Amino acid sequence: MELKPYQQEVITDLARFLDCVQATKNLPDAFHDFWATHPRTPLKPFPGTAIEPYKNTVPGVPHVTIKVPTAGGKTFIASNALRTIFAAFPADRPRVVVWLVPSITILDQTLRNLRDPRHPYRQKISTHFAGRVEVYDKAALLQGSGFSASSVQEQLSLVVLSFDSLRARNKEDRKVYQENGNLQSFSTLLGPGDEDITLMRVIQALNPVVVVDESHNAESDLSVDMLKSLNPSFILDLTATPRKNSNIITFVDALALKKEHMVKLPVIVYNHNDLAEVINSALQLQRNLELQARQEQKAGGRYIRPIVLFQAQPKTADDNTTFELLKKKLIELKIPESHIRIKTAGLNELKNEDLSSPKCEVRYIITVNALKEGWDAPFAYILASLANKSSAVDVEQILGRVLRQPYVAPHTAPMLNMSYVLTASTKFIETLDKIVQGLNKAGFSSRDYKVADAATLTAKPAQTGTFTQAPLDFDQKPAANTGMDDLAAVDFSRVAPVEPVTDEAETADTTQALSGPATSTVEAIAKAALEQDAAFKKVVDESTTGNIPVLPTELQSLVKTYPIKDIFREQAQALMLPQFYWKKPSASLFDSGDGGTTVLLEKEYLLQGFQLGKADTDIRFNGISSELYRVDLDETKKEATPTFTRIDGDAKERIMAFILDPSRKDSRVKNFTRRILDQIGSMYPIADKEIERYLRRILEDFTDEQFTDFANHEYSYSRKIKLKIDQLSEEYAYQQFSNFLDQDKAIIKPAYTFPLQIAPGDTSKAITKSLYEKEGKINGFEERVINEIANLPNIAFWTRNPERKGFRINGFINHYPDFIIQTKSGKTLVVETKGDHLDAETKISLGATWAHKAGNDFRYYMVYERRAVDGAHTLDNFLNLLREI
């Protein structure tokens, strides 16, 4: 399981922030510089905005938040983030993580997943830390079970705890702060004078990295004090809804999740006249979805069994009669009892139930709001609220439970790509507010739901398909009684019995299965849902402009944007720059929602089949001269902040002695491989195992003298190895790119369009004929070049192409040329400027190939000031040439 593009961007943002910390040696400055220079969203933190100035809640300790909506894979992101964080610290320090969760449910789930060697979380962590990973709960720590001073030096130690277990509210929790003879091995770590060895003192001495899951639950003064008491070296918060004192370094937008098929959006909301209609629609819609799911599975898809969540309303919190009554009525409607479960605070019939298993029969779950965070069931599609009709439906607590998309894949039946909320409320406007609150709590927004029948908003009858909704009485007084009395009063004779889906029914036409007066509402819901889905899909498709993701909703209002000038708008919007596309081999059923056979060419496609582990290891290490540095606390500062300090003297000797210890000779290659992997970091799409195999081949031929020299200059050695891997992968990608073009596996077609507005952050001074009201920052030689070009009479307009987020020539490398220029004769020129001291053969080669394939209306030019380079131009020669185009 690999990171989705938006997840990789989160890791990249984390690495950028750590780089800023190293550069500034000051956390507030690092946070400011991180946002002010962000390549995608240059912003300056300002009070009262989504990006506020850095809040030093735990003084001197980097404390940052990643904002990812529900179902966005926060835990998987955190599992990948650990290597990035520890790479900023000395390779010899104990690698200890305290992973804090807000509830017992999430505690059990997190422990189970991190301990399971088959689970993607554990697999990724094991890969990043060479398989040396141990996961502890509180009981194991207190018993010293596999937890010792020597073990923490040899492995990554993941300590999973609940917030409450550190708050010492009961006798069991206080054991964390009591003397513990099982931890005697840590006495040397604690040092003289620390006679009472407690688990908390050991954790403090280990200076752990702290991961805070659902961090919006840990923002009280008590929780912040708890974080301080852990003596952390770094704090990473995970949440869909950050609080005001969060230092957010990345925002993930809901559209990114939909684009990667992580969530069932939009949420289709339909309001009924009464509870009988809600129940009827829920039963019939479930059957409809299950029939579609079975047909899809028969065509080669995966198993899905859609589930309804009935949100019943009891008289009191302890009242189970409502749930039992609903269960009884469902059974009377021919629903097998094995298809129904109750999940409340006092009754949990879902215990030990694997809802995703084909052996599981559950299709209906009756609850109130017991299904909060930590409860995952991607098969849950329908939330049917049975609240009192005159009440606003209180759905925000469990709405997020129906959003996760099964198998993180698009389904051929569009109805299976959405989720549904069914209500019967005269206070429908207030109900929609509750739905928005629920979406907000899951990290989404009001744009992510759609009302299936707008008539409910105006209280007028509306014709939708064969179903006419009666006017709603918005002046109806609240019922005298609530809860069970409403459900008891439901006329279940109006609810059509439901036959379980059988193999015979599976072959029947779905529309026929929906026929009859009892299912006319479901027909209306289905019709409206398909229309809303098509509209939402268009929004998702348009969420990238010129293949650039739009800014997350929270940031759009903070960014100063500049539109295309009116004079150039029509001409610019008609222009599409070609890019390379890859012809996908024999696309499977789920590869593309529109039946397309080509995708934008990415380097990862060119590196399929690249076997780094077998590549040549000829690397010249002579001439290396560097010093070993480490991240440490600079005690000379007023507040201790992470910084670089030189490792020398006794400290350096201890590190070298550990690595080069003759008694560890057999594991020397393994130790060095781990250290180099940490320093190199991810080189996606090259698999970590291939990099590890390649490193072992390099190190296995080293002599003792070479190992010693490597130990003294490991950062320089690692850098050379990484450059070699880059070279090898680029050579392989170049050859594959040539092959793809020769074999017609890669084609070029119009793709990139100019965004209607840009947000460059820093801007350049005004130069005539610029496409936008203001253009992005331009350096000295670039400014000279574009000023000369813009003043030529045959130039229509020009624009600064932003690095990493503008037009790219995509091939064996991604090349973002500096300028895009349009001539009055209709030619589009893509221009890259280069200082005379810089080489650019690969860009010249790729640019020439692009121009040749793009056709006569497109040209590529590399421009130096004076240097003569094959395939490039000097500035004077280029200007003379350009005058005649």
Dihedral angle of Cα 767, 769, 774, 779, to the nearest 10 degrees: -40
Phi, psi of 606 (to 5 degrees): -70, -25
pLDDT (0 to 100) of residue 76: 94
Q: How far is CA 38 from the centre of its chain?
A: 18
Does residue 105 surpass a pLDDT of 90?
Answer: no
Does residue 627 surpass a pLDDT of 60?
Answer: no
Element (H, E) at 129: none
Over range 372-395, report the average pLDDT: 76
pLDDT (0 to 100) of residue 328: 92
Give the pLDDT band (50/70/90) at residue 444: confident
- Spatial distance between the Cα atoms of 834 and 784, rounded to a whole number of angstroms: 12
pLDDT (0 to 100) of residue 512: 40
- pLDDT tens for 450-474 read 888 655 554 433 333 222 233 333 3
- Spatial distance between the Cα atoms of 312 and 329, rounded to a whole number of angstroms: 13
Q: How far is CA 449 from the centre of its chain?
A: 21
Q: Are 797 and 769 in contact (CB under 8 A)?
A: yes
pLDDT (0 to 100) of residue 345: 74
Over range 709-730, report the average pLDDT: 87
- pLDDT tens for 121-144 read 999 999 888 888 999 999 999 988
pLDDT (0 to 100) of residue 168: 63
Long-range contacts of 143-147 (CB under 8 A, 24+ apart): 143/182, 144/180, 144/182, 144/183, 144/185, 147/183
Does residue 84 surpass a pLDDT of 80?
Answer: yes
pLDDT (0 to 100) of residue 663: 54
pLDDT (0 to 100) of residue 452: 82
Tell me which amino acid residue 335 is.
I
pLDDT (0 to 100) of residue 495: 86
Look up residue 841 and give its DSSP letter.
H
HSE (side-chain half, CA atoms, 13 Å) at 836: 6
Over range 61-74, report the average pLDDT: 92
pLDDT (0 to 100) of residue 640: 39
Over range 97-104, report the average pLDDT: 91
Does residue 482 surpass a pLDDT of 70?
Answer: no
- pLDDT tens for 689-699 read 889 899 989 98
Over range 436-458, report the average pLDDT: 76
Q: Cis (ω within 30 of 0) for the bond into 685?
A: yes
The CATH number given to 5-253 is 3.40.50.300
pLDDT (0 to 100) of residue 578: 97
The CATH number given to 746-882 is 3.40.1350
- pLDDT tens for 567-623 read 999 999 999 999 999 987 754 333 434 444 788 898 889 998 999 989 998 888 876
Q: Are 807 and 821 in contact (CB under 8 A)?
A: no
Over range 641-670, report the average pLDDT: 51
Give the pLDDT band (50/70/90) at residue 315: low
pLDDT (0 to 100) of residue 203: 92
Over range 144-152, report the average pLDDT: 88
Over range 393-402, report the average pLDDT: 75
Give burial (CB, 10 Å; 0-12/13-18/19+) of 561.
Answer: middle
Does residue 65 surpass a pLDDT of 70?
Answer: yes
Neighbours of 6 (CB within 10 A): 22
Most confident listed range (177-186, 531-540, 785-794): 785-794
Over range 293-304, report the average pLDDT: 93
Helices 704-712 and 668-680 pack at an angle, to 10 degrees, of 30
Over range 496-521, report the average pLDDT: 59
* Residues 6 or more apart whose Cβ sits within 8 Å of residue 623: none
Q: Choose between 347 and 732: higher pLDDT.
A: 732
pLDDT (0 to 100) of residue 664: 57
pLDDT (0 to 100) of residue 563: 93
pLDDT (0 to 100) of residue 656: 54
pTM score: 0.74
DSSP, residue by residue, 188-211: HHH-TT--S-BHHHHHHHH--EEE
pLDDT (0 to 100) of residue 176: 82
- pLDDT tens for 724-733 read 999 999 999 9
Look up residue 818 and give its DSSP letter.
S
Does residue 783 surpass a pLDDT of 90?
Answer: yes
In the predicted model, what is the mean pLDDT of the chain?
Answer: 82
- pLDDT tens for 635-652 read 333 343 443 333 333 334
- Spatial distance between the Cα atoms of 63 and 235, rounded to a whole number of angstroms: 5
- pLDDT tens for 190-205 read 766 556 888 999 999 9
pLDDT (0 to 100) of residue 319: 60
Over range 252-278, report the average pLDDT: 90
Tokens coding 49: 């905005």
Give the pLDDT band (50/70/90) at residue 274: confident
pLDDT (0 to 100) of residue 552: 80
Strands 63-67 and 248-251, by their bridges, are: parallel
Q: In the beta sheet, which residues pair with residue 251?
A: 67
Q: Is the dihedral of CA 304, 309, 310, 314 positive or negative?
A: positive
pLDDT (0 to 100) of residue 504: 58
* Residues 6 or more apart whose Cβ sits within 8 Å of residue 263: 69, 70, 71, 254, 257, 403, 404, 405
Over range 230-237, report the average pLDDT: 94
- pLDDT tens for 30-41 read 999 999 888 878
- Spatial distance between the Cα atoms of 71 and 74, rounded to a whole number of angstroms: 8
Over range 209-225, report the average pLDDT: 80
Q: Choose between 798 and 668: higher pLDDT.
A: 798
Q: Choose between 259 and 646: higher pLDDT.
A: 259
pLDDT (0 to 100) of residue 509: 46
